[in-house]
Structures are given as structure tokens and as C-alpha cells.
């Protein structure tokens, strides 16, 4: 028998002065109109996709169930189980209060950043799906309404010869012509054959020349038919990132993503402000507080939060609102299943400065099978008008692709 994480002892959670439960806050007034609903359970199931996706379900006494997703990886299911007692008996419509309630209750277990935030994010997404179903409204309406009917998708592209400029260019051509995308991303932190030391983050001139050759080949292959971004995965030193960004200025680069590690915003700002090549970052920064300096100090040209990692749908919308004060677009990082991908699209519909949402699973043939609805069509997501997120899990597909040893959560 495994550990029951919901019963773990935590003095911080038990004695916090910032307990925001309905009982403590005296949120007891009857609401009427079918809105007096209580949460009865929270469950997870982990799916073995190209990332181990954690799907989340929040159940209620009204028989209505909300489905969400936390950013992939170990630890989220246990943390979500841990938070179950803080949610049971609560009204799921109080999304903002419940999210802050969980953040305060879990403060001793790391709710400033990391997997605790992503676990809360998964619950928060499920609450939006649930609230939309209770109120008979699509999730974007809960965020203030929509700016657009469909959200642009950028396809994260890969090839077996990822360091070969010609192979990358051919894949870019295929994705544009055969799959219908007009927005792409390729990796630049690939081996060039000129590396001397993998630990010091320094780029030698032959390495920079190799990366430039990939950018040149891909951008010339697609021309004006598609925008192309390039990802560095937090790999290079500040000086090397500056030199790389400068070398790419003559090419039509949509953005250069995460050229330096995420911890030091001062270095990030220096790199961004050194070059006219657009710089994007933000997927490894948590909550609006973590994104604040990147935006206020204009340390990026494009902010790139990962919705089910950064704090959820409302948190992403709050980050976008802050970014809009600096006329900064939002390109949501996304490596999720169809559930969080659609949730990101709802956010993208509701914010004015949405640039695109990432799609990272085009090589996984069964990605779309996890839900009954079509999600991506010709490089765009049409935002559903159905209540909640507007996607329905195919439980047979979920069961087929579960992580070994995982249990399927209950039916709705």
C-alpha cells in the first residue's frame, strides 16, 4: 500500500494565519441558481506522452467534474493528493481565492516556485473547466471575454539530424506545406562538432557559425510563409548569447528563446538590450512575481510563460496584463496534452497581447486521441463555445497510454 499524501503532517499548513478557506473567511452565503456546489474529491492520472502529463480531475456533489492538467513531471500527483483536504467542501467557483488558499497552505512545501506551483496550476485549470460547466460558459468568458475566435499555434519542430541545417530546412518546408503551420520553432542548442567544454557555457566562433547556418537555412526555406523562432534552452553565457544574438540580426528570426539560464534576470536583461534580435524567456519563472522583473525591466522582448507551470489560467492572464502595460506580446510555452493546450488557447483568446501557443507533439501520432474533439486545425486552435474548456477526455485512450503502475481516475 502506498503513502496517503493527503494525511501528511505540516505545521505550516495547519497554523498559517493566511488560511483562506471558506470557513475561516466566513464565505457561507447561499448563492442560488445552481451555484451552491461543493468539491468532493481531486484525482490525478499520469499519461505517458512525449512528456509524462499529469491530468487532474475535480469532482463535486452536483455530479459535475472539471478536468485540468499540471505541467509534466514527478511530484505533481503527490502534491495534488496532499492538497485534497484543503479543497473538499469548498465552492469551486471561487477560483482565485482557492488558488491563493492553496498557495498559502502549501507555503512550507515550496509554493513560491517549482513543482508545488505546477500542482496548484493543474487544479486551477480543472477549476476553470468545472466553473464553466456549472455556469454554462466557456472558460475564456471567465477570464473577461475574447479578443479572437482562434489562437495561432507554433509547431516545435525536430528532425533526426537536428544539427544538419539542410535537414532542418527540409523539415521546416514539410511542416509548412504538408501540416499547414505558419509558425515554427527549432532548437539551436544542438551539437556543432566544434565544442571544447560542455560546462562553461562559452560559444566558440565555429559554434556560432554553425548555429547561424541553421537559422539561415530554415528562414530562407520558408521565407514569408512562416515565422520561425529558435530555442537555446538556457545554455549559453551572457557574452556568448550576446554574440549569437548579434550574428542573427540580419535574419528574419521571430525570437531567440532562453539564450541564458533563467535565474539571473540582470544577465537576461543585458542580453536582450544588446541586440535587435527579439529575445523570449519566461517558461522557467514561476507566478506573476517571478515574471515581474522580466517585464518591468524589459529584460525580454516577448514573455513566454508556461500556463500549467506558472500558476494556471488566471495567473497567466495577470502576467499578460502586466506585459501589456509594456506593450509586450505573450508567446505561451506549452508541452502539454490536448487538455492544457486548449486551456492555454482560452487564455490566448482572452488576452490582447497573445502571439501564439506552442505545440510540441506533432511527432506523437495519438496526441489528439486523448480528447474527443479536434484541437488544432491548419496551425490554429478554434476556441470552443462549449462550457468549460470544451474538450472531453477519451477515457479509453487515457487508459491505453497511462504510465505503468498508474490508476485511471473515476469517470465523470
List, for residues 341-397, the tens digit of each pLDDT value. 999 999 999 999 999 999 999 999 999 999 999 999 999 999 999 999 999 999 999
Q: Can you give the three-state secondary structure of 315-351, one letter per residue?
A: HHHHHHHHHHCCCCCEEEECCCCHHHHHHHHHHHHHC
- Low-confidence spans in the chain with pLDDT less than 70: 1, 15
Please give the torsion angle defined by the CA atoms of residues 25, 26, 32 and 37, in that order, rounded to the nearest 10 degrees: 60
Q: Are 53 and 77 part of one and the same domain?
A: yes
pLDDT of residue 287: 96
In a domain, residue 401? The reply is no
CATH number of the domain encompassing residue 157: 3.20.20.120
pTM: 0.96
Q: Are 152 and 244 part of one and the same domain?
A: yes
Q: Are 89 and 208 part of one and the same domain?
A: no
Q: Are 233 and 177 part of one and the same domain?
A: yes
Q: Any idea what DSSP says for residue 371?
A: B
In a domain, residue 207? The reply is yes
Q: Are 200 and 117 part of one and the same domain?
A: no
In the chain, the number of structural domains is 2
Closest CA to 72 of 267, 333, 301: 333
In a domain, residue 398? The reply is no
In a domain, residue 366? The reply is yes
pLDDT of residue 101: 96
Distances (CA, A) of 82 to 123, 143, 402: 12, 28, 21
pLDDT of residue 361: 96
List, for residues 295-338, the tens digit of each pLDDT value. 999 999 999 999 999 999 999 999 999 999 999 999 999 999 99
Cα(127)–Cα(90) distance, rounded to whole angstroms? Answer: 11
In a domain, residue 304? The reply is yes
CATH number of the domain encompassing residue 19: 3.30.390.10
Q: Are 305 and 364 part of one and the same domain?
A: yes
Cα(260)–Cα(345) distance, rounded to whole angstroms? Answer: 27
Which among 88, 104, 137 is the end of a domain? 137
144: burial class by Cβ within 10 Å (0-12, 13-18, 19+)? exposed
**Residue range of the domain that includes 43:** 11-137
Closest CA to 156 of 191, 173, 189, 181: 181
String of b and e for 292-321 (b: at least 16 CB within 10 Å)? eebbeeebbbbbbbbbbbbbbbbbbbbbbe
Q: Are 108 and 151 part of one and the same domain?
A: no
Q: Are 367 and 250 part of one and the same domain?
A: yes
Q: Any idea what DSSP says for residue 302?
A: E
Q: Are 179 and 312 part of one and the same domain?
A: yes
In a domain, residue 194? The reply is yes
In a domain, residue 412? The reply is no
Q: Are 109 and 81 part of one and the same domain?
A: yes
String of b and e for 23-41 (b: at least 16 CB within 10 Å)? eeeeeeeeeeeeeebebbe
Which among 90, 112, 137 is the end of a domain? 137
Q: Are 299 and 179 part of one and the same domain?
A: yes
In a domain, residue 409? The reply is no
Q: Are 51 and 166 part of one and the same domain?
A: no
Which among 137, 170, 201 is the end of a domain? 137
Amino acid at each position: 500500500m502506498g503513502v496517503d499524501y493527503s494525511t501528511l503532517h505540516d505545521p505550516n499548513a495547519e497554523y498559517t494565519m493566511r488560511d483562506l478557506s471558506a470557513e475561516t473567511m466566513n464565505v457561507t452565503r447561499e448563492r442560488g441558481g445552481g451555484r451552491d456546489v461543493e468539491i468532493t474529491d481531486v484525482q490525478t492520472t499520469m499519461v505517458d506522452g512525449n512528456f509524462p502529463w499529469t491530468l487532474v480531475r475535480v469532482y463535486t456533489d452536483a455530479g459535475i467534474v472539471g478536468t485540468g492538467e499540471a505541467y509534466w513531471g514527478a511530484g505533481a500527483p503527490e502534491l495534488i493528493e496532499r492538497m485534497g483536504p484543503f479543497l473538499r467542501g469548498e465552492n469551486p467557483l471561487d477560483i482565485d481565492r482557492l488558488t491563493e488558499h492553496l498557495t498559502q497552505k502549501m507555503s512550507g512545501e515550496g509554493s513560491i516556485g517549482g513543482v508545488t506551483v505546477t500542482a496548484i496550476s493543474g487544479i486551477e485549470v480543472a477549476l476553470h473547466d468545472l466553473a464553466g460547466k456549472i455556469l454554462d460558459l466557456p472558460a475564456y468568458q471567465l477570464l473577461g471575454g475574447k479578443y479572437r475566435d482562434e489562437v495561432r499555434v507554433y509547431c516545435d519542430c525536430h528532425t533526426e539530424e537536428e544539427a544538419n541545417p539542410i535537414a532542418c530546412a527540409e523539415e521546416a518546408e514539410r511542416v509548412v506545406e504538408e501540416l499547414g503551420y505558419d509558425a515554427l520553432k527549432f532548437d539551436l542548442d544542438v551539437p556543432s562538432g566544434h565544442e571544447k567544454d560542455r560546462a562553461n557555457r562559452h560559444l566558440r566562433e565555429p559554434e556560432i557559425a554553425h548555429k547561424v547556418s541553421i537559422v539561415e537555412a530554415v528562414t530562407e526555406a520558408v521565407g514569408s510563409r512562416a515565422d520561425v523562432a529558435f530555442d537555446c534552452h538556457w545554455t549559453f553565457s551572457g557574452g556568448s548569447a550576446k554574440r549569437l544574438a548579434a550574428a542573427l540580426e540580419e535574419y528574419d528570426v521571430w525570437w531567440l528563446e532562453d539564450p541564458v539560464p533563467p535565474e539571473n534576470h540582470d544577465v537576461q536583461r543585458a542580453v536582450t538590450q544588446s541586440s535587435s534580435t527579439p529575445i523570449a524567456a519566461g517558461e522557467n519563472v514561476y507566478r506573476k512575481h517571478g515574471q515581474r522583473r522580466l517585464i518591468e525591466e524589459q529584460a525580454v522582448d516577448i514573455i513566454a510563460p508556461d500556463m500549467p507551470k506558472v500558476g494556471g489560467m488566471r495567473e497567466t492572464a495577470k502576467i499578460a496584463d502586466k506585459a501589456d502595460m509594456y506593450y509586450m506580446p505573450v508567446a505561451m510555452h506549452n508541452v502539454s496534452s490536448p487538455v492544457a493546450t486548449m486551456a492555454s488557447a482560452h487564455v490566448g483568446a482572452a488576452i490582447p497581447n497573445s502571439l501564439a501557443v506552442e505545440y510540441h507533439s506533432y511527432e506523437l501520432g495519438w496526441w489528439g486521441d486523448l480528447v474527443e474533439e479536434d484541437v488544432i486545425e491548419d496551425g490554429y486552435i478554434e476556441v470552443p463555445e462549449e462550457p468549460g474548456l470544451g474538450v472531453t477526455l477519451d477515457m479509453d485512450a487515457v487508459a491505453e497510454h497511462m504510465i505503468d503502475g498508474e490508476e485511471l481516475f473515476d469517470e465523470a
